Amino acid sequence: MRAALRAFGELGVTAGVVVLLFCAYLLWGTGAYTVQQQTALRKQLLKEFRKKEPAKLGPVRLGGAMALLRIPKFGRDYRYAVVEGVGAEQLRMGPGHYPGSAMPGKAGNFVLSGHRTTYAAPFNRIGELRRGDDIVVDAREARYTYHVTGTRVVDPTEVDVIAPVPGKPGRKPTDALITLSTCHPEYSAAQRLIVFGELDSTEDRRG
């Protein structure tokens, strides 16, 4: 009996170590992949930004860099290249743009999704955003500054929050809006945390 209990205890310790290592991988190991991808994507964007006449932002391939996201409230080091697409592969690279939603600065809803706890957790702190906080999107042709207008926690089935006019599916948009979406609460996908914003200013790069 003692031998069996000892073996069971040792097995439990081993299982605990395996679980801890797996959790460490989810929190830090996956982040290393995202950091590597982000380094390459940001270099690509910054190279295009330095051109005297950056190309107008058009269709972007899935996984391609389309803009640089900055949130001043989170400090100078907070900057992520936004990729086209919100599939598992794209979101491992960084925040993703919902295909078919508005492009930066355009009328409609520029919708972004991002991880909250793994793959560098780009949207880990968006719950700290408050009305009036800035969200800056650097695209090839211009810098767009949005200000936060509100937040909501919704069920995954409430997809009208990413409609061209959030909460009013079918209505034609006239304003340039932004929506950030991530899982809620942390370490769970039971609900979604949504941050809404609207365009406040535009700084043209081509002038």
How does pLDDT run across 170-182, given as a tens digit for each residue?
999 999 999 999 9
Main-chain dihedrals φ then ψ at residue 103, nearest 5 degrees: -85, 165
Q: E strands, 85-125, where? A: 96-97, 108-113
Write down the pLDDT at residue 20. Answer: 43
Segment 171-194 shows an average pLDDT of: 95
- Could you list the active site residues? 115, 183, 192
Write down the pLDDT at residue 11. Answer: 56
Q: Which residues, 6+ apart, have CB-to-CB distance to 76 below 8 Å?
A: none
Q: In the predicted model, is pLDDT for residue 102 greater than 70?
A: yes
Domains of the chain: 2-204 (2.40.260.10)
Q: Model confidence over 52-69: pLDDT tens digits?
A: 666 666 678 899 999 999
When pLDDT is cut at 50, 70 and 90, the band that residue 46 belongs to is confident
Helix (H) or strand (E) holding 23: helix 2-24
Structure tokens at 29: 């190991």
Cα–Cα distance list, 132 to 44, 69, 71, 147 (Å): 31, 17, 12, 5
Write down the pLDDT at residue 30. Answer: 74
Whether 119 and 96 have beta carbons less than 8 Å apart is answered as no
Nearest one of 181, 18, 49 to 115, comparing CA atoms: 181
